[in-house]
Amino acid sequence: MKPIADRTPTMVQEFKNFYHTSPTHVAIAPGRVNLIGEHTDYNEGFVLPVALTRDVRFVVRPRPDRQVRITSLEFDASADFDLDHLAYDDSTLWINYIQGVAMMLEAEGLRLTGMDAVLSGNVPRGSGLSSSAALEVAAAKAFMAVSGQLDALDGPTIALVAQRAENKFVGVQCGIMDQFISVLGKAGHALLIDCRSLDYELTPFPADASLVIGNTKASRSLASSAYNERRQECETGVDLLRPALPGITALRDVSSDALEANKDRLPETIYRRCRHVVSEDERVLTMADALGRDDLAAAGRLMDASHASLRDDYEVSSPALDAMVEAMHSAPGCYGARLTGAGFGGCAVALVEPGREQSVADAIYKYYPKVTNIWPDVYATPAADGARVIELL
């Protein structure tokens, strides 16, 4: 695992090469990894993510007009649009996330100015680490910076703007967790989010713990269809439980005791889907308490239980994810590990002792390719800061 270099100086030089002038700001927004709380967000439950040291950055300079010109270093491509004529671009998909953010910011009452920008991201795309949310939040911060309106919106509103951009303009029905943690993350903390009320609370992340993320590099082709199917199964469970539990509107309202008392009302598959969500909500709250007490052994057991529930009850794991989790567990210093994200591919996350990150990575490189014939990526990260803007001039 190589340390992550600061990309800003390279981006500044590329900006000068492209636009023959100097940028004024860099806007930064991180990706995220969810410690625990999977498939609870659309059931109005709880999640506990942390921000990563990997991020999306815009190096920008305001323009005197309403034109936006962006060069992406990773895509080796440029695109532009007019803030007065926003329209979905079928030929350059990544630009739509940025156009959507511009549209939703103006819907909040901000009058934006154009900008020249260089874009770079090192959050792996398609890995379940929320590169799209990082792109949206960084774009929002960039627009606000060049328009002289950095303080116009509070953090939760920026997150909601970014979510609406993805939901309404791009057409992806994501939840709010990814944007919330990208905006509101803080170094040394996880963020406990109530996905119903949108209340949130910073939870100290113990100094004697670290995170290792293993990217399976396996296909996530089943994730989208399975997501919709699981969401419908949860709604069916609520409908079947409501006659016995009047007033419930989501699985968030159901306790484990109440579910067990009424399991005969549910087909076996629906019951297991509900059991995952109900027990996962309880694990999130218990995990936040364990981290607050520096009880890493308990936190690790909760992560292990979450993975087992996702594998057996919710059935969104995969041989690749199970192999990744097993590889993590084979290394000394691993407290617990679980898949993170929607499942079927993407990443797993391990809670480990500081100083043991490389031994966990070595175990992954040794074990995982033998089982899957896929070479993984491994990242170590502390709990990092959320979005921010740095003035360059």
- Active-site residue numbers? 178
Place of tokens 């649009």: 81
Query: What value, to the nearest 5°, has the Cα angle with vertex 158 and ends 179 and 287?
Result: 40
Q: What are phi and psi of 86, to 5 degrees?
A: -75, 130
β-strand partners of 119:
58, 72
- Classify the phi-psi angles of 322: left when phi > 0, otherwise alpha if psi is within -120 to 50, otherwise beta: alpha
- Classify the phi-psi angles of 26: left when phi > 0, otherwise alpha if psi is within -120 to 50, otherwise beta: beta
Q: How far is CA 98 from the centre of its chain?
A: 18
Instruction: Note whether 248 and 242 are within 8 A (CB).
Output: yes
Q: How far is CA 78 from CA 95, 117, 350, in A?
A: 9, 10, 37
Exposed/middle/buried for 5, CB within 10 Å: 0-12, 13-18, 19+?
A: exposed
